[in-house]
Amino acid sequence: MRAPGVILAVTALFAVAACAPEEQAAPPTNQVDGVACDKANLATLTTGKITFGTDQPVYEPWFVDDDPTNGKGFESAVAYALAGELGYSKEEVVWTRVPFNAAIQPGRKTYDANLTEFSITEERRQAVDFSAPYYDVDQAVITLESSKAASVKTLAELKQVKVGAQVGTTSYDAAKRLQPAQDVAVYNTNDDAKAALRAGQIDALVVDLPTAFYITSAELEDGVIVGQIPAGDGKPEQFGIVLDKGSPLTACVSTAVENLRADGTLAKIEQEWLSAAGTAPELK
């Protein structure tokens, strides 16, 4: 038989356990300030739908066939994954085209969220909101095998060639950071810049690394990657989804991006559309 003291102690223990407050379950990760991030609560431009913006044209590997609606390409796939995370079906996704520079200007937007390889910068934050980052990106220099830039091995050598980039992009910022001997040539689109490269008007073109791999493998028969440009402040450059300044959607979109990162969705999409590109040497 157990001693009476033991029985009393056990009884008291159960009594204390029964009176102890239950641990509060962590709030669902799809909530912001206790409100669910789903289409019933999101103040989108069109009730029950979410409108994504992107440039025209858009290029692989970010979009395929200049058609954001097909779900093919890294950013198209991210957009539809984000929509699903927020409770929208594919049929409830709307796309609108907005020129790159216009998309990050102050003022009301014609989209709820925009994916056009927008790097997060403090200057842009003055005019628009950014979501949590969904991709870390490097900048690279491409050229033609016949160009004098093809033999470049260092940043010092790169300063001596004529480089170009698309206006308003961080590729253009990276090109200026090189402090080339000649002014950086500026183009409205990468198509214009590629045409200038083919015509010999520039010796090299600065683009993000995945785009560099695509252009040199699929668009320029004699295209080559010279190398990567180091980040200006040593920090990774990151893409973020653009929203209207002060948008009520920003927190939920960021939460959805973080959920897609946590459950491995972003990594799977990156593996499908970007990882085949490979790597390139970093210029020093």
Span 18-40, pLDDT tens digits: 444 444 444 447 788 888 999 99
What pLDDT does 197 receive?
A: 97
Let me know if 126 is exposed, middle or buried by CB neighbors in 10 A (0-12, 13-18, 19+). Answer: exposed
- Stretches where the chain sits below pLDDT 50 are 1-28
pTM of the shown model: 0.80
- Runs of H (alpha helix) within the chain: 4-19, 74-85, 100-103, 122-125, 155-158, 170-177, 190-198, 209-214, 250-262, 265-273
What pLDDT does 28 receive?
A: 47
Q: Cβ of 140: how many Cβ atoms within 10 Å?
A: 27
Which residue bears the tokens 């083919």? 198
- Amino acid type, 259: N
User: Do residues 208 and 274 touch, judged by C-beta distance below 8 A?
Assistant: no
Peptide linkage before 61 cis (omega within 30 of 0): yes
What pLDDT does 275 receive?
A: 75
What pLDDT does 196 receive?
A: 97
What pLDDT does 276 receive?
A: 62
Structure tokens at 29: 């990760």
What pLDDT does 277 receive?
A: 58
| Distant-in-sequence, close-in-space partners of 77: CB < 8 Å, separation ≥ 6 | 71, 269, 272, 273
